[in-house]
Structure 1
Amino acid sequence: MDTPSIDAGSRLLALKHELVAANRILAHQGVLDAFGHVSARHPERPGEFLISRSCAPELVEIDDIITMRLDGSISEGADAKPYLEVPIHAEIYRARPDVRAVVHSHAPAVIPFGIVTQPLRPVYHMAGFLAKGAPVFDIRACFGCTDMLVRRAEQGAALAQALGSSAIALMRGHGFVATSTSIPGVVYRAIYTERNATIQQQAIALGGPVTYLDEDEALQADDTNMGAIGKPWALWKRYADRLKALEKRATLDHF
């Protein structure tokens, strides 16, 4: 009779470890810095999600992971201070039952595509998930002048509506959100959103017309890449684990 709860507990613990790794990987890859966050839908309770307390991603430890409800209240970790922009995650999970992980990033290479008319489009196969484009959410168009942060449920809902069925949405003058059905998948998409943006800017700067992937080849590329997601995830996680071990060793050497 206890086996299901033990299995559920193991799955939850494994997901927490993946979430810690995701924070460190994205910081190491330059997609997150002192700001930004990544979350995962609870494996047993779809109306809840896991996210770190308000903390720089590179510093996230397993004890920093809290559980939040879609209404923005804390289910587990009541003493923690959550990120101001948890409505980003809550409202995307509410609007998209297929989404199981969300990243919010301020990666500089992506910002220009949210403030110009040139859309972010897939320029190479690693970014096939951009097949449906990257819609732009402009908070001012919906809510007037704000501090640009998605602080309230209605703002998160408007962002989720702009995202629609796409994998990525840009946030004008702010950053972007990435979604996927898994933590490794969303980490992959966040990293390659930034890389595609960099390459696209380089291609545009060279002058002349740019040849983009068409929707069919982008979708096929995304299917292939998502099927091989374990390969980059294992590599990125190994880097993150090494950095964590070095940090621990440095702390011990200090004492």
Structure 2
Amino acid sequence: MVNTTALLSTLITANHILHYHNVLDAMGHVSVRNPNTNTTFFIALQLGPAVISGPQDIGEYLIEDGSPVNNNTQGGYAERYIHSEILKRYPDINAVVHSHAEDVLPYTVVQNIHLAPIYHMAGFLGRDTPLPNFDIEDAYEPSDPRDFLVNSPRLGAALAERFGVNTTTLPSVSPVYTTVLQRGHGFVTVARSVEQVVDYAYYVASNARVQTKAILLAGSAGRQDCSSAGFSGNGTGDIKYLSREESRDSANMNAWIVFKPWTQWVREVERSGLYVNELGSG
């Protein structure tokens, strides 16, 4: 049995870290599977990540349909179905982050430049194909409001499907991608632990910042072929992205050292004076 108090403490700290580093705004959220039941997950109630401070700020929901446990109708995120449907589709995924990070948003709306790993800390983004970009318009029914919210199991399932299924891991059901973009909305990233998903979310945004600077720098010299974005393989651009092998091996390297940035980030939020974690963050 996993200590639920420790798990919730980690979840609270994850919210604080991602807010501190501008990955989560007031509307972003992070969740974790309840390993003691495997049928529910924890996610903050309708609160901004900076003000989450204790168990009273966290809801528990059924993975099956996103409904609150014990019919508790206390307010929760309308987009909790992002989390429930991903956790339902991928049993080996235990944590999910949904972010509106402004550094990433341009890559969700520009069609000829793809977000791709440009340095080793973002190798988990992969290089076989461009990251999927979920356009919710494709999943809407005529009666749906066009507000971009993934606020039903149907829309959550459509988003979850974009992560794909890695057939090399069967019978374990693993996603092909760690990250899916959302047109005009943000991104979702998934991992096996809270610590790892925080790492992924941080470096998705970091990679976007570095890539944008590289594109601008190359463009200022008049030599950037934006259509290739590192995927065409024709060598026409001056930006050298990670290769498939470099992405794979960098991702494997970072997977076992995720504790290192996590420990530093915990110290940062503890000493910032901005956040309260009633359960302790050590």
- TM-score normalised according to structure 1 size: 0.89
Matched with 1:4 is: none
Task: Verify: 1:135 aligned to 2:146, yes or no.
Answer: no
Task: Verify: 1:188 aligned to 2:199, yes or no.
Answer: yes
Please tell me whether the aligned partners of residues 16 and 275 of structure 2 are also in contact (alpha carbons under 8 angstroms). no
Task: Verify: 1:160 aligned to 2:157, yes or no.
Answer: no
Matched with 1:236 is: 265
Please tell me whether the aligned partners of residues 135 and 163 of structure 1 are also in contact (alpha carbons under 8 angstroms). yes
CA deviations on 1:207-245 (whole Å, 9 max, x unpaired) are 23211101111111011111101110001011122235x
Structure 2, unaligned runs of 5 or more: 165-175, 225-236, 277-282
Matched with 1:99 is: 93
Identity of aligned residues (%): 40
Matched position secondary structure for 1:163: coil
Structure 1, unaligned runs of 5 or more: 1-7, 249-255
Matched with 1:225 is: 254
Equivalent residue in structure 2 for 1:216, among 232, 245, 258: 245
Q: Over aligned residues, Cα RMSD in angstroms? A: 1.6
Return the offset for 1:79: 4.8
Matched with 1:120 is: 115
CA deviations on 1:187-217 (whole Å, 9 max, x unpaired) are 0000000010111111111223211101111
Task: Verify: 1:177 aligned to 2:174, yes or no.
Answer: no
Please tell me whether the aligned partners of residues 105 and 177 of structure 1 are also in contact (alpha carbons under 8 angstroms). yes
Matched position secondary structure for 2:3: helix
Please tell me whether the aligned partners of residues 117 and 126 of structure 2 are also in contact (alpha carbons under 8 angstroms). yes
CA distance in 2, matches of 1:21, 1:98: 22
CA deviations on 1:93-147 (whole Å, 9 max, x unpaired) are 0111111100000000101111112111000000011015421000002216610
Task: Verify: 1:32 aligned to 2:24, yes or no.
Answer: yes
Please tell me whether the aligned partners of residues 67 and 77 of structure 1 are also in contact (alpha carbons under 8 angstroms). no
CA distance in 2, matches of 1:90, 1:120: 26
Task: Report runs of 4+ in structure 1 exceeding 3 Å deviation.
Answer: none
For 1:36, the aligned partner's letter is G
For 1:152, the aligned partner's letter is S
Please tell me whether the aligned partners of residues 123 and 248 of structure 2 are also in contact (alpha carbons under 8 angstroms). yes
CA distance in 1, matches of 2:212, 2:158: 28
Matched with 1:151 is: 151
Please tell me whether the aligned partners of residues 66 and 77 of structure 1 are also in contact (alpha carbons under 8 angstroms). no
Higher relative contact order (CA 8 A, sep 6+): 2
Matched with 2:105 is: 111
CA distance in 2, matches of 1:230, 1:83: 29
Please tell me whether the aligned partners of residues 118 and 207 of structure 2 are also in contact (alpha carbons under 8 angstroms). yes
Please tell me whether the aligned partners of residues 11 and 43 of structure 1 are also in contact (alpha carbons under 8 angstroms). no
Matched with 1:69 is: 62
CA deviations on 1:39-68 (whole Å, 9 max, x unpaired) are 001111222111111100011112211211
Matched position secondary structure for 1:155: helix
Please tell me whether the aligned partners of residues 269 and 275 of structure 2 are also in contact (alpha carbons under 8 angstroms). no
Please tell me whether the aligned partners of residues 95 and 193 of structure 2 are also in contact (alpha carbons under 8 angstroms). yes
For 1:242, the aligned partner's letter is R
Inter-CA distance 95–247: structure 2 relative to 1 (3 Å threshold): closer
Matched position secondary structure for 1:143: coil
CA distance in 1, matches of 2:139, 2:59: 30
